[in-house]
Amino acid sequence: MRVYSMLMNDTTSTTQNTLPDWRDQRIAELESELAKERAISQALRERVQQLEADLAVLKQAGKRQATPFARRAHVAEPKRPGRKAGQGPFAHRPKPEPEQVKETQDAPLSGCPECGGTLTDLKDHEQFGVDIPPVQPVVTRYVTHSGYCVKCGKRVRSHHPEQTSEATGAAGVVVGPRAKALAADLKHRLGASYGKVCEVLNDAFGLKVTRGGWCQADQRLAEQARPVYEELIEALRECAVVHSDETGWRIGLLSAWLWVFTNQDITVYTIRESRGHEVVVEILGQTFKGILVSDCFLAYDDKTLRDWLKQKCVGHLLRNLHELKETKTGGAVRFARDVTALLRHALALKAEKPNLSPDLFAQRAATLEAELDALIDPQRRLTDPDNVRLANRLRKQRPHVLRFLYVDELDATNNQAERQLRPGVITRKTSGCNRTDGGAEAHSILGSVLATCHQQAIPVLDYLVKLQQYGGKPPALAPPASAAA
């Protein structure tokens, strides 16, 4: 028993000597794991707070439609409204000529309006008010004649050059071409609904026409403008630069897309159920030789368009890079910062190009090309998945990123298409889209003609009036020679 007791005491002593070391090691491991879990928990709490803030913004945006368009941060000193310094001449409204003054109204002053006292040192002051007089519709009676031709066996009829219709009898009272032109401009270029078109033309001009009447008038006007629309498409195919973009649309209950193809002189709209490359080929043709400016949407990268010259919108790339810089930290932000700086240097070089010698410009452009190649080199290791995704996109679009440096009339951004697409977005929001295929086609045709007239400073109403009249011959909407390929 004595020997057994001594052995047990030795074993207990050995266990007590080794146990604290094992416990300390385990405690250290648990404390390390706890610290990691606390860090993860803190990161998750911060993420939840951010998501709750974003959700609150989205809920508020659902109640107030202006919220998505508001500034993200308050600007203490915003830019002053109106004309910016150096952007066009500034002048007051000129004083009317004496023959332009149709009426004079005098406001006598016999005494002080405050106390009734006598006035001395009387002076005259004049002000000219330029206003729109009350407008009443002008009714014109057209008398035409018809007769039976003995030679050809047909009944023929005369037309007055200013007539727009052959309707007689019960349908012999028609709305004139200028009223139809104004209604079409309000609807298809300015985005007013047919209901508002009715109100404006009734209140301002006394024209009582229903919404259905204006819709039918637009359908007939679109058929008259169809040859002009087809000429615009043909002319666009010969242009050196074409910008393209698209936005969501609806035809009745079906989803569709409003496409725009434009440059500085021509705009063509088309509404299709497809958002594929087939629409691009249909409008520009399979043998388009110009440069297509667009965003990085997949439809513009189809194999059918592989041999086309393109310019990808640098503005879209800069916005994507800005989002990366806002969301990344540490080394992950370096890639977005470096690419942003390079693209901004390229934009500055394009602005300086007229003042640089060809050799100096070529040298600086080659430096930018080499820097871009180095930034997106496949051998460069990028650990952040968003950076990897953007680098892959830049490698895919590499030939189309800096092409704007070498073509003087080529823009670096797709702002032209986005500006021309904005009226369609306003129309979609204020008056809806189209209910029928015929309405979509009429909107495409009339929107294209009206936008092109506005681009070329052609009076819209005069153009559409001549388009409707039997004796009218509107000017061609062909692009200037400088825009042709």
Q: 230-243: per-residue pLDDT in tens?
A: 999 999 999 999 99
Cα→Cα distances 237→275, 298, 318, Å:
20, 21, 29
Sign of the four-CA dihedral 156, 158, 161, 164: negative
Instruction: Please report, to the nearest 10 degrees, the dihedral formed by the alpha carbons of residues 163, 165, 171, 172 taken in order.
Output: 20
Tokens of 188: 């298809």
Distance between CA atoms of residues 269 and 282, nearest Å:
12
> What's the half-sphere exposure (Cβ side, CA atoms, 13 Å) at 16?
6
CA 296, chain centre distance (Å): 16
Q: Taking 90 as the threshold, does the pLDDT of residue 169 lie above it?
A: no
Q: What is the mean pLDDT of residues 160-170?
A: 86
User: Greater confidence, 58 or 482?
Assistant: 58
Distance between CA atoms of residues 259 and 317, nearest Å:
21
Distance between CA atoms of residues 199 and 203, nearest Å:
6
CA angle 222, 224, 230 (to 5 degrees): 80
What is the SS3 assignment for 156?
strand
Distance between CA atoms of residues 474 and 452, nearest Å:
13
157, β-bridge pairs:
146
For the chain, the domains span: 314-405
pLDDT tens string 372-395? 999 999 988 888 899 999 999 999
Q: pLDDT band at residue 82, thresholds of 50, 70 and 90?
A: confident
Look up the pTM and report it. Answer: 0.76
* Angle between helix 211-237 and helix 177-188 axes, rounded to 10 deg: 70
Q: What is the pLDDT of residue 64?
A: 52
Q: Taking 90 as the threshold, does the pLDDT of residue 22 lie above it?
A: no
CA 415, chain centre distance (Å): 7
For residues 297 and 397, is the Cβ–Cβ distance under 8 A? no
Q: What is the pLDDT of residue 91?
A: 74
CA 473, chain centre distance (Å): 32
